[in-house]
Each structure stands twice: as C-alpha cells, then as structure tokens.
Amino acid sequence: MTTDEATKSEGEVQAVALAERGEDITPARDRGVLKIIKRPGSEDESPMIGDKVYVHYKGKLANGKKFDSSRDRNEPFVFSLGKGQVIKAWDIGVATMKKGEICYLLCKPEYAYGSAGNAPKIPSNATLFFEVELLDFKGEDLFEDGGIIRRIKRKGEGYSNPNEGATVEIHLEGFCGGTRFDCKDVKFVVGEGEDHDIPIGIDKALEKMQRGEHCVLYLGPRYGFGEAGKPKYGIQANAELVYEVTLKSFEKEGKYLQAVIQYRKIVSWLEMEYGLSEKESKASDSFLLAAFLNLAMCYLKLREYAKAVECCDKALGLDQDNEKGLYRRGEARLLMNEFELAKCDFQKVLEVNPQNKAAKSQISVCQKKTKEHNERDRRIYANMFAKFAERDAKEAASKTGVEKAVEKAACEKGPKTGAEEEEAEGHV
C-alpha cells in the first residue's frame, strides 16, 4: 500500500468514525455538521458572532484525499465568525470551540459547497472532513482604532441599521471594573445619548447594530466618559467601560433630522470657543451664521416653524441684513399664519435685494392670505351676529305672544259687575 493509499484509508476511517460518533451541532439537528473533539481547549469562553478568529486547518474529501491545509502554508487562516465569509459548517462549528481546541468536523454538501462544488479540488455534492485548531479570537473592532470592540451574543434580524437621528429603544447595562453602575430601558435619538447619560460609544455602536441584536461593547476612554468621568455613577477619568446592549427597536429618520443633529453640534462647538483673535472670531461668526441658516432650513422641512424662526433670529443677530435669514423667517411666519410679520420680512428682503422675485411673490401670497383670513373672520362674525339677531327676534316674538294671550284671556272674561266689585272690596 502506498503512502497516498494509506492516507486515504485513514481519512475514510476517520470520516466513518465521525459519522458514527460525532455530535450533531446544527441548529436544525439534521446531522449536517458532526463534531468530535480531538483536544479540549484551555479556556471556557467560545468566540461570538463577529469575532475575528484565527485557525489552522486541514481539509479532506470523504475518501481521505487532502484538498487544502493552512499548515502547509505555515500561515493561520483568519475570518470573521458568523458573517458568511466561510462555508456554513465552519460558522457553526468554530462557534462551538474553545481557544486551543482541536476538533474534527464532518460536513454534508448543503453545509459546504453544495451542488456547485469548488473546482477544481472539490467536486459537486461533496461531503468534507476538516481538522480545525482554534488558535485565538478577539472581538470586532468597529472603527479599527481599538476604541469600540463588539462581541455579539445574539445576532439581530434583517440588514437595516439605525442611522444618526433614528429613534431607538434599547436595554443596557454598564460595568466598570466589574461593578455594574447602570441598568435601564431607554428610548432616545441616536446622536443625543449624552442627554441620557449614555456615552458616545453607544451612539456609534448602535449605527452598526441590527434589530434584536444583543452584544457586549468594550469602550475605551475616548468613547466612554473621557477625562471628565461620570461622578453621578462614580466613574473616574479615562475609565474603560463595558456595556451589554440589546437593540429592541428603532425607527429611521430622514436626512433633515440627521442634519439638525450635526448642525446643532457645530453650533455647540463654536459657541464654546473663547479667547479668539479678531480674525478667528470673524471666521467663527461666519460658520455660526451658516449653521443657523442651515438649521432654519432643516426645521422648515421638518415643519417645526417656531424653531426655524428662532434660528433665523440668531442668524440675523449676526447679520441683520442677511437675505436668507430674512426670507426663511418670512417663510416660517407665513406657515404659522403670521401674515403681517411675514410680509415685513419679505419686504426687508427686497430692501436688501430688489431683484428677489421669490420675495415679491411671497408678498402677494401674504396679501392674499391676509384677505382670505379677514373675509373668513367677517363671515364668522356675520354668522355669529345673525344668530344673535335671530335669537332676539324669537325672544321678542315669544314675549309678544304671551302678552296677546293675556289680553285675550281678559277679553273673554269680560268686565266685572257691581256686585263682584263690592265683593272684592269686602275681601280687601
């Protein structure tokens, strides 16, 4: 018997043994992936979905013929678990392993390369045999700067993620140094977590999560509470934090709400700048002016007209003759039915730029709306007065009817006789 024949025979024996004694590790319990542990691992923890895993492996066909080996290349194979980067059998099998463990996996075609195979080495509908060693694994580095490491305990549903500005409902537990400092259900807008004592790292991570996902997040100081710490929770400066987060639900919002969040951040940063030179101050005011004008536009699109007016007021405080500020405030006031104030704003626009056709058109709209409003008021008051007059007429008619009835009764009774008058006087 040649060496190749001996190897094939050994492989066939291993495959048969695995088929007989292997543990079914498929979720469906259809014996599509069978596992036998050759060497137990040195730790209790297994890799989670999204973890970057490092393995060595040897792959053989059911007849024992080797088709691939990372050991032959002297280089570990690296992939992200549960992300569909490898055959389904590997995502299932490696998730059950411990660090340092070596196991055998027998994989049916539907959990490997199926009817397509993987030419030229793997034929159609091939059952595969693997020896796999789990060398190491580590959490997913969400932004590749080491600041937020995610480990997924339960995979979410679908392919949609919350964007900045989305309203999310989550459950979270926060830990520092092994001590839990926070536990709550909370609903908030992504990007505004700090208003709920939630560090920015959670906002960032939520944009990568799916509905129903349950994960562990390891936050560095930059994405935690930073140099300020969080005295409310007893968190010291530059503390590393661990959060368990479940994304229960979310509703995405459009681009305008996202833009509002961004522009508000810009305004907040610029308003906190102190000790600027004259040149820097002018530049800062220019950026602030643009931010307020853009915020006003976003609020107009979101139909939050009072906020749009407020932003225009702030913009006009920086530049009282700003054409956009006057025009957008006029638009907001027009939509709030403040026609005279809106007309004043559009007239000021024309003072700044007499060629502004849109402002001329809006003045006509204001005049038309004012006329319609006045006519509607007149109709309301006319109807009101008509009803009052009708009621008064009915009351007058009713009173006249009573008087006539009294007179009629008196006539029917006739004048008193002398005897009746004497009798009446006697009673008195």
Q: Annotated catalytic, 67?
A: yes
What residues have CB less than 8 Å from 225, skipping those under 6 apart? Answer: 199, 235, 239, 241
How many angstroms separate the CA atoms of 221 and 207, rounded?
19
Q: Annotated catalytic, 113?
A: yes
| Preceding amide of 120 cis, omega within 30 | yes
How many angstroms separate the CA atoms of 225 and 192, rounded?
14
In contact, 98 and 43? CB cutoff 8 Å: yes
Q: Annotated catalytic, 129?
A: no
Catalytic residue among 67, 77, 181, 287: 67
Secondary element (H or E) of residue 307:
helix 305-318
In contact, 224 and 241? CB cutoff 8 Å: yes
Catalytic residue among 130, 243, 250, 263: 130
Dihedral in degrees, nearest 10, Cα atoms 185, 204, 253, 306: 90
Q: Annotated catalytic, 345?
A: no
Catalytic residue among 25, 57, 137, 305: 57
How many angstroms separate the CA atoms of 397 and 401, rounded?
6
Catalytic residue among 113, 292, 327, 346: 113
Catalytic residue among 36, 37, 68, 261: 68
Sequence-ordered strand ranges (E) for 221-300: 241-251
Q: Which residues are catalytic?
A: 57, 67-68, 87, 113, 130
